[in-house]
Structures are given as C-alpha cells and as structure tokens.
Chain A
Amino acid sequence: MTGPDSSDSDASGGASGAAGSSATDTLTNRSAVALERVRTEPGPHVAAVAVAVALGLLASWLHWAGLLVGGALVGFTAPSLPRAVVGGLGFGAVALVVFALSLGDATLTVLEMTPVVYLVVASAFGLPVLGSLARGLE
C-alpha cells in the first residue's frame, strides 16, 4: 500500500509543482499589473499609499526601523525613484505630525530639547528617505 501511494504522491507532487509554477507566474503577473495600476491610476495609488502609510506608522510605533519600512512601502507605490524619495519625505512628515499629536502638551517641551529635536526631525525624514531608495532596486 505504501509504495503505490508514495509513487502517486510523487507524481501528483510533480503535477501540482508544475501547476503551482504556472499559478505563481499568474500571480506574479497579476501583482505586476496591480502594482502598475497602483503606480499609475490615481484611485488605487491613493489607497495603496494610505495602506503603506498606516503600515509604516504601525511599524514605526514599534521600532525605529519602522520608519525605514514605512519609507520603503510608500516608495514602492511611486512610479519612479524620485517620486519614491518624495513619498519618503511625505511619510516622514506624516510620522512627525502623528508623533506631535501623540505627545500632546509635551510637544512644545520636546521642541526645546536641543539637540535631541534635531535628531528627531532628521530621523523622521532621513530614515523613510533611505527606505524609499529600495524602489530603485527594481
């Protein structure tokens, strides 16, 4: 019982592997199409940027590397590398605004925390921009 089953399994495994490859290709094509739409069509682009920003902020809340991730995600929605860098800057600005809102009354105090405040601003813009460069790896 074991042998035939095993053999069948191998055969079906090979068949499903071929089918999987095909499916993967299909998926890749669909992803490419979707990414293209996200980068070129206004509606999908806005939605994708919103999701990227939300995910990026969530990641940024957990770890500073989230700012890199946020910049990279926003960058991937951009049609070109320069636009990705602009997107990274935009994400940094959003992160700063959210940060200020999260601080509430302490925001003014933080603004007086020189030179720490320079680091805050520099990392808010610098890390997402660095992440957005990943767009150029495509």
Chain B
Amino acid sequence: MPSDTTRRGVIAGALAAGIGGLTFTGARELLEQFAPLSGRAWDAADRTPSSTVESPYGEATLRFDADGVPHVEADDEAAAYFAVGYAQAFDRLFQLDLQRRVMRGQLSEVVGEATLEDDEFHARMDFAGAAEATWEHVAETPAGRLVEAYADGVNRVIETEQLPLEFELLDYEPREWTPVDSMLMEKQISWDLTGNFGELRTALVADRLDEGVAEDLYPERMDHDVPILREEVLESAERLDGGGDEANTDAADASGATTASIEGGSSQSDERERGADPDAAVGAGLTRWLSKYESPTGVGSNSWVVSGEHTESGLPIVAYDPHLTLMAPPLWYEQRVETPERSVRGATFPGVPFVIAGANDAGTWSFTNVGADVLDCYAYEIDDDGERYRYDGEWREFETELRTLDVAGGDDRDITLRKTVHGPLLEREGRTVGVAWTGHTATRTTEAIEEYGRSEGLEDLLESTRKFDLPTQNLVYADADGRTLYYATGKLPIREIDGEAVAGNRIFDGSAGEGEWEGFTPFGESSWDGFVPFAEKPHAIDANVLATANQRVVDDPEHYVGVDYAAPYRGARIYDRLDAALEGAGDDGGDAPGSTDLEFHRKLQADAYDLRADQLLPELLAALADADADTDGRLEDAAATLEGWDRGMDRDSEGALVFARWMDHFRRLTVEPQFADADLDESHYPGDWAVATLDDDSDLYDDRSRAETMVAALEAALEELDDEGWERYGDWNTTRAIEHPFAVEAPFFDYDERPLDGSRATVNNYRVASGVGASWRMVVEPGGDATAILPGGNSGDYFSAHYGDQLDRWIENEQKPMERETDADVAVEFTEGSS
C-alpha cells in the first residue's frame, strides 16, 4: 500500500506539474497556435475564396490563372475594382495591414516594444496626414470612386473570409481598410524611393573627415559618360515645346530668379534673420536614427527601350526590372483588369488598386528611380524652452499634436508631434531638423496611374504624366504605334538663396527662409508654382535606344535634379550590350542582324558581367605580381583564378567569389583606419565607384599604399573563404536575405535558400547584404508579346500553391507569359447586391 500511495503521489505530481507547466507558461500560447486539430494556425490552412460574393458595385468575375494571377472582368469599372480589392486582400491581406501599420506608426500595437522607435519616426513624419490630404483631392476625381470600390472589396475579405496565417499567429484582426490607407501606400512607395537624408550624412562625414577625403569618397558627380540622356539620345530624340536644351544650359542660371517663399509665410527673404546654425542638425545620433528609415541601400532599377527599328517584330520593346527589397511574399502583386475602358495587366503594390508598371492594349510603361533630391533639411533657431522657432523675423509656436503610440504587452507612449512651416520636425539627442518632402502634401499620382491603365498611346500617357507628382521616376514607355518616351516624373523643387538657384544637398537655414519651395503646402494642397515646369524636366520623345539604371539623368540638366545617382556600372553595361546588338556585333540580338527580340532582352536582364572587374582586376593583378611571394602560394593561385575568370558573377564561379569578397575587404581596408578614428561605422562607407577611382596618392593610402591594400584585402578574403568554407560564388551569394517579416520567429515563412547569380554592380542585380534585387522582371512588346516573373509567388498565403512557385523561374529568369486573357475557370462570381 505505501508503494501504491507513493506511486500515485508521483503520478499526481507529474500530472500537476505537466498540466500546470503547459497552462501557466508560454507553452500555452504555442499550443493554442499550433496544437494539432485545435491550433488556430490551422484555420488558415484551407483558405478558399467564396464562389459567390455580393457586390454593391455590380457584376464581375475573378479568375486565377496557373500562376495565381487574378484576372478580373466587369462591365463597370467600380465593379471591377471591388473585385481587385477582394483579390488583393485575399492574397495579401497581412501585407496590406503590415504596411499601413508601419506608415501610421502602429506596429508596436501588435508586435510590442521592439518597433516603438520605428513607430515614433513614422508618427512624427505624419505620413498619414499627407495621405489624408491626398485623399481629399483624389476623392473628387474619377479615380476616387474606384479607390472606394477597391477599399470595399478589401473589407469584404476582412469581414467574411478566413484571415491568413499571420493574423492567427499574432491573434488580431485587421481594422477596416480605407481609401486613405491606399493613399498611404502611395506615400510608402514614394518614401522608399525618395526618402533621403543624404545632406545630414554628408555633413556628418565632412565634419569628421578631412575635407579632401570627404570630397573624394562622396563626389557630387561621378566621372563617366553614360548618363541616361547620353549624346546619342539628346541628338535624336524630340522634346516638348517650352523645354530648354539640356545639353547646353547652365543649371543655376536657367532656373530663373524667383523669390522663395512658403505659403502662409513671407517672401521677403532679405528681411529674414540668419540665426540658425546648420550644424545644429548635424549629429551622429539623429543621422543614424533617420538613416534607418531611408531608402534601403541599393534600391534602384533597370529599364530600357529600343524602338521598332531595332526589333524583329517592328514593335518597340521595353525591358524592366526594379531593384527593391526582396521579401516573402514579394513586394509586387500581379493582376489583370478587363473592362470596356481598360485592358491592363502588370504589377502593383498590394494596397494600390491600379497597375503601376505593366501593359495595356496600347502601350507599356515602367519606372526606375531617378535619385532626385526632393527632401530638404532645415535647421532652426529654437528658444530655450524648445517651444518656438525663429522664422520670418519673429518667434513662432510649433504646430503640435499629441499622439499615443499603443504598445502590445507594454506601456503606451505619448509623443508630441511638432511641425514648422516647412513640415515635420525631427529630434534626437538634442539635435533638431525640419523636413520638407514633396510627399508631404496632396499628390495626384494615383490619378496618373489610374489613367495610365486606360491610356491609348503616347500622347495620352504624356498628358497623364503631368499629374505624376511623386515619386521622381524615370518613366520609360513605348506604344503599339511604335513611339517611345522617357520622362522624369515627379515634382522637382527649385531652391533659392537671395534669388540665386542652389542645389538641395545641404542643410538650409530654416529660420532665414533659405531654400524654401514656392507653392508647396505641407499637409495641404500645393500649387507647385515654384517647381520645375513640366516641359523643363528631363525627357526624350521617340528616342531609338534609351537605358536607365539610376545613373545620372543628364550631364548638364536644365535644373538641379539631385546627386544621389547610382554608379554607372549597370547603365554602361546595358548601353554597351544594346549598342553591340544593334550594330550586329557578336552573337547578341535577334536572328536578323542589328535587330533584337524578346529573348535577347531577357538575356540582357540576366547579364552578370561585372564592370568593376574591368576597372580593378588589372590593377589588382599587377599589385599581386609586384608583391612578395607568399609562403603557401595561395595568392598566386588566387591570381590565376582571377586571371582565368570571365568576370561573370555566376553562382558556380570561383573567380566571382574571390572577387566579390576581395571587393568588400578592399573597400573596408581602404577606409577603415580613418573612419574608425572618426567614429564612422560601416553605414557611412563610400560606394564601390568612389573606392575604385581613388588616386594612389589619396590620404587614405598614407599608411599603406593602394597596391598593398589590394593585396592585404585579397589575403583577408582568402582567409574568410577558408573560415566559411565557401568554394563557389553561390555558396555566399544566396537567397538567404529574402525574408518574411516573421523570419526570426517563424522562419518557415521564408523561401528555401538557393544560390544566385549577380552582384550589386551587375545588370542582373542582387545585393545579398541588404536583400535588394530584381523585384519584378518584365519584357514587353506593346500590343504584342509580353513576359514577366516575380521573385517568389503571387500569393501571400503561406499554404497557397502560389506562395513561392515562381522563385526557381525567377532565379533562371524564365519568364511566364503576361497575357491579357485566360481560360481559367471563374473562381469568384460577384453578383449585384449590398451585403
């Protein structure tokens, strides 16, 4: 009996401990999520859309093709966009909600304190306020009704359909989607492409490094001859009436002698006090904080067009691959909409109703980033209490608003938003800066994009482009009539100090009214009076061959555009290949000499030839030849590998691996000593072009010559290869950087890791360090054939067959047809009704 009692006691204890442990620890939450049969995660495992959905906007059909691309057809545009909202929400609802939470500063409400700092930035920037101002304008346009229908379609999914897995894991339900949320997506895209605090970083670097070194490492102009509008383009293309001659104008003189003013303020700049110290805005803490929210490193894109003179079909061809953050699911969503007004297919960002880059029956359009300067920083004289700032000869109260940031599982935080006449005021560690950004006002881009989808040719599209207020993009277009177009979209500010046009890459004295944007009303409707007139922006009509790769737009712009251009490696390579193909040289091009076909352009998108190697390898090999022989012969072996390498950044290449790792070490060893002394971390390292073009006698090589640095970098690279066990480029250059937002907590959301071709300098662009690369590829003959591919899949539903079904094809750039028809069965029938 005593033994029975003991046994029972032990078992009872084990049961109590087990059940208590499961109930009162984190295990309970895990079991509620994932226990077989009852786990709420499994509710999301079998999502299928309702076969019939009532729509207040009328009848429509929704089909999903073999790649999960939705095809919406309707007789009424609003009925179609209700279905588009439904399709996007069904496939990408978590992405929609996550993005708006980020932009509204409401992420901590569901994920906790970890994102509180991010929320503070987004709340202080008041992107939501700018979106509200934009919606006030858009609501009154034809696009407004379609955006409302779209929002209602999204809400139908929220109300009636099973939510995706992410919501089950975080255990929350999304709020109602509003048209303002869609405007917020426009702001997000624009911010990701143009949000740049470069002037703060440049000022910090200039403050901490020798002036000469800073100028060498961050040149305002890179010395190359392959701008987008190169000589051949300027000579052959047409320009609008009223536009100047960009090849023969002076930037400052041509901008006109207007007097800067901000609406509501004074234009008497000579009466203003000059009391603010721009250095007051320069601080490592503030700059580091703001840098976290700028465009991700490497964001850029390729696009090019050749006219029908250079294609086998006689139609122009446009090729496009935007290099944005790669993620699971992809940033882009492919869709097709067919109504009596439009027949359009292409990619958009979830949350945006209309195709952003794609093709209709009349033409095809694409966008790459200009790198224009549309954000200015202002320093102010602020009173001791921090409540007023000096402006227009008087002390002004900041416009303030109390905002509460909700925090899941933590204390909510109250912050006070402050604004000046220029825009939001940002503060960190005692440093303060005012920000003016062209997105902080009502913008008409949604109107423009909506009109693109039903445009009927170049003239039509050009008219709509006048409304494309932001972001600043290189628009490349071609139509079925054989016409081509390049236009720099977006509003370009003109800054003046004492009536003289100045560049915007500096911190302005906000108290003195320096560099203000005339006709700009933050968080209201702007007249844009003082901005670069449309006809004077860079453009080219009916160019034969034109390539954009984020390089300098034009050598001598009529007006200041910006300085944040990409190195010319990609632009030069694309132009080289196009020139060779059109001249009928080599094996490039189509079957007919001097012509190209779609396949040629797809191959060019996959081109992994690295021009950095052309620039640096001869110098490195010479340095190795002059270096003392190493004891184990590794340097000699590496030199032989590099010498025999074809300079292609291919996943199976050993030479590509050695070069890629050497490049990073060479850059680090070049700048590290001085940067470490100046307390500048890796985020301030210069680009490859600056390092590649540094002189031997640069101060950076005072202690170790450039040749010695090259050899030391190779030794460091080889040691790293040994340590890591990498043998081929694809061992290091993989898809591991492509992550889902829950990558840390739930890594199963990520795609399987695969080796990749391409580097940050190649046309086939991929940055393993930041996970930026070709986020969408398309090649289109307007009115003819078209193909496209996504880096993942069209569905964001983890359990969908289309979650990652395009990834392998994306790696090989095997694009799928982008047809504007489908024989798929109707998945959802939208019927007239109000529920």
Chain A interface residues toward B at CB < 8 A: 57, 60-64, 66-68, 81, 95-96, 98-99, 102-104, 106, 109-110, 112-114, 116, 119-120, 123-124, 127, 130, 133-134, 136-137
Determine whether the beta carbon of B748 is less than 8 Å from that of A113. Answer: yes
A86 to chain B minimum Cβ distance, whole angstroms, is 16
Determine whether the beta carbon of B799 is less than 8 Å from that of A116. Answer: no
* Chain A residues near B19 (CB-CB < 8 A): 68, 130
| Residue in A104, A124, A133 with the greatest tally of chain B CB atoms within 10 Å | A133
B703 to chain A minimum Cβ distance, whole angstroms, is 49
* Chain B residues near A66 (CB-CB < 8 A): 37-38
A54 to chain B minimum Cβ distance, whole angstroms, is 13
Interface residues of B in 741-773 (CB under 8 A from A): 746-748
B11, B32, B36: the one within 8 Å of A95 (CB)? B36
A56 CA / B296 CA spacing, docked (Å): 52
A98, A110, A137: the one within 8 Å of B11 (CB)? A137
Determine whether the beta carbon of B46 is less than 8 Å from that of A119. Answer: no
Interface CB pairs A-B, < 8 A, 11: A81-B11, A99-B36, A99-B42, A106-B46, A109-B45, A109-B798, A116-B34, A116-B41, A116-B748, A120-B36, A123-B34
Whether a CB of chain A sits under 8 angstroms from the CB of B413 is no
A57 CA / B19 CA spacing, docked (Å): 19
Known: A110-B42, A116-B34; 7 extra A-B contacts, CB below 8 A, are A60-B38, A64-B38, A106-B45, A114-B747, A116-B41, A123-B34, A130-B19
Closest residue on chain B to residue A135 by CB atoms: B11
A133 CA / B18 CA spacing, docked (Å): 11
B32, B38, B39, B799: the one within 8 Å of A109 (CB)? B799
A74 CA / B39 CA spacing, docked (Å): 22
Closest residue on chain B to residue A107 by CB atoms: B45
Determine whether the beta carbon of A134 is less than 8 Å from that of B45. Answer: no
- A124-B11 in contact given A103-B46, A106-B46 (Cβ < 8 Å): no
Closest residue on chain B to residue A64 by CB atoms: B35
Closest residue on chain A to residue B748 by CB atoms: A113
* Chain B residues near A57 (CB-CB < 8 A): 37
A14 to chain B minimum Cβ distance, whole angstroms, is 35
Determine whether the beta carbon of A98 is less than 8 Å from that of B8. Answer: no
Main secondary structure of the interface of B (DSSP, over half): helix
Whether a CB of chain A sits under 8 angstroms from the CB of B170 is no
* Chain B residues near A110 (CB-CB < 8 A): 42, 45
- A133-B11 in contact given A103-B45, A112-B748, A116-B746 (Cβ < 8 Å): yes
B24 to chain A minimum Cβ distance, whole angstroms, is 13
Determine whether the beta carbon of B11 is less than 8 Å from that of A123. Answer: no
A130 CA / B19 CA spacing, docked (Å): 8
Determine whether the beta carbon of B38 is less than 8 Å from that of A61. Answer: yes
A84 CA / B538 CA spacing, docked (Å): 81
A64 CA / B18 CA spacing, docked (Å): 14
A66 CA / B31 CA spacing, docked (Å): 11
Give 1 or 0 for each of B14-53: 1 = CB within 8 Å of chain A CB: 1100110010000000111011111101100110000000
Chain B interface residues toward A at CB < 8 A: 7-8, 11-12, 14-15, 18-19, 22, 30-32, 34-39, 41-42, 45-46, 746-748, 798-799
Determine whether the beta carbon of A64 is less than 8 Å from that of B11. Answer: no
Determine whether the beta carbon of B15 is less than 8 Å from that of A104. Answer: no
A128 to chain B minimum Cβ distance, whole angstroms, is 11
* Chain B residues near A112 (CB-CB < 8 A): 748
| Residue in B7, B31, B38, B747 with the greatest tally of chain A CB atoms within 10 Å | B38
A22 CA / B748 CA spacing, docked (Å): 61
Determine whether the beta carbon of A136 is less than 8 Å from that of B7. Answer: yes
Determine whether the beta carbon of A133 is less than 8 Å from that of B15. Answer: yes
Q: Lowest 10 A-B CB distances belong to which pairs?
A: A64-B35, A99-B36, A64-B31, A136-B11, A106-B45, A113-B748, A60-B37, A130-B18, A106-B799, A124-B36
B749 to chain A minimum Cβ distance, whole angstroms, is 9
A122 to chain B minimum Cβ distance, whole angstroms, is 10
Determine whether the beta carbon of A120 is less than 8 Å from that of B46. Answer: no
* Chain A residues near B15 (CB-CB < 8 A): 130, 133-134, 137
Closest residue on chain A to residue B18 by CB atoms: A130
* Chain A residues near B14 (CB-CB < 8 A): 130, 133
Determine whether the beta carbon of B38 is less than 8 Å from that of A63. Answer: yes
A99 to chain B minimum Cβ distance, whole angstroms, is 4
* Chain A residues near B37 (CB-CB < 8 A): 57, 60-61, 66-67, 95, 98-99, 102
Determine whether the beta carbon of B39 is less than 8 Å from that of A64. Answer: yes
* Chain A residues near B45 (CB-CB < 8 A): 103, 106, 109-110
Closest residue on chain A to residue B11 by CB atoms: A136
A104, A109, A123: the one within 8 Å of B36 (CB)? A123
A138 CA / B34 CA spacing, docked (Å): 32
A96 CA / B798 CA spacing, docked (Å): 21
B373 to chain A minimum Cβ distance, whole angstroms, is 46
* Chain B residues near A81 (CB-CB < 8 A): 11
* Chain B residues near A137 (CB-CB < 8 A): 8, 11-12, 15
* Chain A residues near B799 (CB-CB < 8 A): 106, 109
Determine whether the beta carbon of A96 is less than 8 Å from that of B36. Answer: yes
A66 CA / B37 CA spacing, docked (Å): 10
A110 CA / B7 CA spacing, docked (Å): 39
* Chain A residues near B12 (CB-CB < 8 A): 137
* Chain B residues near A114 (CB-CB < 8 A): 747-748
B9 to chain A minimum Cβ distance, whole angstroms, is 10
B800 to chain A minimum Cβ distance, whole angstroms, is 9
Determine whether the beta carbon of A119 is less than 8 Å from that of B30. Answer: yes
A124 CA / B31 CA spacing, docked (Å): 10
* Chain B residues near A63 (CB-CB < 8 A): 38
Determine whether the beta carbon of B31 is less than 8 Å from that of A123. Answer: yes
A98 CA / B14 CA spacing, docked (Å): 28
A110 CA / B165 CA spacing, docked (Å): 12
| Residue in B18, B22, B37 with the greatest tally of chain A CB atoms within 10 Å | B37
* Chain B residues near A61 (CB-CB < 8 A): 37-38
* Chain B residues near A133 (CB-CB < 8 A): 11, 14-15
A95 CA / B828 CA spacing, docked (Å): 34
A95 CA / B45 CA spacing, docked (Å): 17
A57 CA / B18 CA spacing, docked (Å): 20
* Chain B residues near A102 (CB-CB < 8 A): 37, 42
Closest residue on chain A to residue B165 by CB atoms: A113
B71 to chain A minimum Cβ distance, whole angstroms, is 23
A61 CA / B798 CA spacing, docked (Å): 22
A106 CA / B35 CA spacing, docked (Å): 16
A123 CA / B39 CA spacing, docked (Å): 11
A67 CA / B747 CA spacing, docked (Å): 27
A109, A123, A136: the one within 8 Å of B35 (CB)? A123
- A67-B35 in contact given A133-B11, A133-B14, A133-B15 (Cβ < 8 Å): yes
A106 to chain B minimum Cβ distance, whole angstroms, is 4
A66 CA / B32 CA spacing, docked (Å): 12
A103 CA / B748 CA spacing, docked (Å): 17
* Chain A residues near B46 (CB-CB < 8 A): 103-104, 106
- A136-B8 in contact given A66-B37, A67-B35 (Cβ < 8 Å): yes
A120 CA / B32 CA spacing, docked (Å): 11
* Chain A residues near B22 (CB-CB < 8 A): 127
A73 CA / B705 CA spacing, docked (Å): 79
* Chain A residues near B41 (CB-CB < 8 A): 116
* Chain B residues near A136 (CB-CB < 8 A): 7-8, 11
A88 to chain B minimum Cβ distance, whole angstroms, is 12
- A62-B38 in contact given A109-B798, A119-B30 (Cβ < 8 Å): yes
B10 to chain A minimum Cβ distance, whole angstroms, is 8
A70 CA / B36 CA spacing, docked (Å): 13
| Residue in B14, B22, B35, B747 with the greatest tally of chain A CB atoms within 10 Å | B35
A104 CA / B42 CA spacing, docked (Å): 11
* Chain B residues near A67 (CB-CB < 8 A): 35-37
* Chain B residues near A124 (CB-CB < 8 A): 36
A61 CA / B39 CA spacing, docked (Å): 9
A113 CA / B752 CA spacing, docked (Å): 12
A95 CA / B729 CA spacing, docked (Å): 46
A125 CA / B14 CA spacing, docked (Å): 16
B49 to chain A minimum Cβ distance, whole angstroms, is 16
* Chain B residues near A64 (CB-CB < 8 A): 31-32, 35, 38-39
